[in-house]
Structure 1
Amino acid sequence: MTTLLLLVRANWALGTFAICVYGCGQGLTIPASNLLISNLNPQSRAAALNLLNFSWGIGAVGCPFAIAALQPSHQIHWFLYGVAASAVILAVAFGMAPLRAAGQDSTAEARRVEQGFWVRRLVVVLGLLFFIYVGVENSIGGWISSYARRISHGQGSVWAVTPSFFWGALLAGRALAPVVLRKARETNVAVAGLILATSAVALLLSAHNMSWVLMAASLAGLGLSAVFPITIAMIPLWLGKPGERAAGVMFALSSMGGATLPWMVGAISNRFQSLSIGLWVPLVGSMAMLGLYYGHRNSKADAAAA
């Protein structure tokens, strides 16, 4: 909250510091909120997490419009005040909520569980899924408008809204996922989604006009939509109770992937003077996630402990 207030009248250095502190706060709250929702909905973890991530997506899509509306009158600080006030209200609400704390393991038991935990196969698999997924999502969402502009040769402005098709389909998929998850197992939904996403990226790379680019962007967003919430739900399902300790590391890996893979797209594109070649990064990433999910679709927490 104080970080957002600092941004209102801050100079460049103070504003940069405030953004860093705000990012640290998000780094703490995002894993905690996901684990909270997961633990409160043990029978429908993936469905609940899809709705949570859908809500975040609405905010991510809607806030730029609010800023755009306030920008002409130079009133963006009111937006920051509003976000700060909302953060205070949420903090008070969570502080007053009658949530029961999970029992803490004894020190001896905690040490026993910790031994060998980080080298378990499913811990590594989940770490890879978190790293690759956010990297793939950011690579497509961040580079697709540049790719579309090259396909359209800069004519018109349709290329500029291409990311909206991707993110819009991502939101729609997360809104519909709880319905699908009532009848299908989480890992099967993830596998189906990754097949669609991989096919969509391949279609994108072979597109020669904007119609195909827009279709590929929409299909890619739809295919990826349920994968990340399902991956979060896999933490307790694959790792059991000790897996909660790994949540922070998993989300840290997702942030690393989100920063690394889009950079790789740019670096490879620059090296070969072709964005099409650079976009093989999310294609290979989607294929890798598909292989990881398909190979472990029947895994359970007790298997991880073996």
Structure 2
Amino acid sequence: MRSTENTSTGPRLSSARSLERTPAAVLILLAAILAIFVYGMIAAMLGTILPDLSDRFKLTPTQNGTIATAQAIGLMIASLAVGPLLDTQGDKIGILLGLVFIAIALFGLPRSGGFGSITLLMFLLGVGGGIVVTAANALTSAVSPDHRATALNLVNLFFGLGGLLTPFISANLFNRNWVRLCYTIAVLTVVVGVYQITVPMPAPAGGSGSIFTQAGPILSRPILYLLGLFLFLYISCEVGVWNWLARHLIAQGIPESRALNILSLGFALGLLVGRVAVSPVFKSVPPVTVLLIASIAMAITTFLMLQTDKPGTAAGLVFIAGLAMAPVFPTTLAITASAFPQMTGTALGFVITCGWAGLAVSSRIIGAIAGPDPRRIRKALLVLPAFSVLMIGLNVAIWISLR
């Protein structure tokens, strides 16, 4: 299955091979890195600014949930709709369009008048984020077809860096001034957009015929749905950790500050370190094999981290869980791009949309199982190892389908 990493053909990739390992490729990859970095910052914004927005506008928990759902819907709609645009007009158009939506939302939030306008702006922020993630990953895949799993893991490393930087800036530099935070990230978004304009990027990958006739063969291939379901399960697990782990640890008697540090310095750091560490592995190990190993490790570590109430042990297991999860998202996208060398953006958009669907439903499933009793969160979080076991089975199906 090594061919998944290095034997793709098609208009997008054949034109990109002439760029690989050239100064132009470095500039293009930097463009993808900056776009992913911006998305990492805005992905962490909701949790950072929502408490202040709630206090300012007296928002209820139900309204907070609606705001989060609006952002998730924006992510799903944008990721699914932008694929054909990338294939026909190019990745640059997609990245710029996404950054425009992000900038509009960030400049508008400090001027919002209440629940309705906040919900609309968070929806636009989700739309911009969904476009940027799909376009930046498609661009990375196109520029580095012979090493796309390695490149995608390294580029997505900057998502984690952006996610860590937003709460750090808010707490330590702006004293939780969310207005300054919005304007700062908005200005950064504009600067990144200007850089995108100046960088030449590969031509669109669209083939002959209408977008509908080209998309038909893609939508008829089972591998697309296997990869989509796989990413749905994975994002459900990752979001489950982000949204529920700290509350589980607190329910076990671990102090809140310690629980939050275990989440940030354990899980988030594990994701960052894991993406750096796994990148050289693809020189000798096929991406599908990496996914299988990661899925097995996820099933084991997510189960074990729920069995302890000792902070030190929990921190170590959560860190290892982060290491296990680190390569899954970018490597799944690498396999998708290799399996669909034409209409790559459309295929990536579909698979990423399936992942965002996991974001939308994961916490609802866990919350429904846990109910009002915090002590039941441990039982509810057994969804994570269960989904990881399902990922193992899907890995086998994906391997068979690719062969």
TM-score, normalised on structure 2?
0.69
Partner of 2:260: 160
Residue 297 of structure 1 deviates from its aligned partner by 2.8
Residue 94 of structure 1 deviates from its aligned partner by 1.6
1:238–1:299 Cα contact (<8 Å) kept: no
Partner of 2:329: 228
2:303 to 193, 199, 202: 202
Secondary structure of the 1:297 match is helix
- Whole-Å separation in 2 of the counterparts to 1:205 and 1:87: 39
- Whole-Å separation in 2 of the counterparts to 1:103 and 1:224: 30
| Matched residue type, 1:158 | R
Partner of 2:371: 270
Partner of 1:146: 247
| Matched residue type, 1:18 | L
* Cα deviation 1:29-49 (Å, max 9, x = unaligned): 110111001111101111111
2:206–2:343 Cα contact (<8 Å) kept: no
Partner of 1:49: 152
Secondary structure of the 2:343 match is helix
1:30 to 116, 133, 140: 133
Partner of 2:208: 106
Residue 171 of structure 1 deviates from its aligned partner by 0.9
Secondary structure of the 1:217 match is helix
- Whole-Å separation in 2 of the counterparts to 1:265 and 1:156: 20
Residue 58 of structure 1 deviates from its aligned partner by 0.4
| Matched residue type, 1:102 | P
* Structure 1 unaligned residues grouped into runs of 5+: none
- Whole-Å separation in 1 of the counterparts to 2:350 and 2:232: 10
Partner of 1:10: 112
Partner of 2:236: 135
- Whole-Å separation in 2 of the counterparts to 1:81 and 1:223: 35
* Structure 2 unaligned residues grouped into runs of 5+: 1-102
- 1:218 and 1:78, CA in 2 relative to 1: closer, same or farther beyond 3 A? same
Secondary structure of the 2:145 match is coil
| Matched residue type, 1:69 | N
1:235–1:244 Cα contact (<8 Å) kept: no
1:171 to 272, 275, 280: 272
| Matched residue type, 1:134 | I
Matched, 1:87 2:87: no
| Matched residue type, 1:261 | S
2:398 to 296, 299, 304: 296
1:169–1:222 Cα contact (<8 Å) kept: yes
Residue 169 of structure 1 deviates from its aligned partner by 0.5
| Matched residue type, 2:186 | A
- Whole-Å separation in 1 of the counterparts to 2:258 and 2:141: 39
Residue 298 of structure 1 deviates from its aligned partner by 5.6
Secondary structure of the 2:305 match is helix
Partner of 2:338: 237
2:231–2:354 Cα contact (<8 Å) kept: yes
Partner of 1:190: 291
Matched, 1:218 2:319: yes
| Matched residue type, 1:224 | M
- 1:125 and 1:271, CA in 2 relative to 1: closer, same or farther beyond 3 A? farther
Matched, 1:126 2:126: no
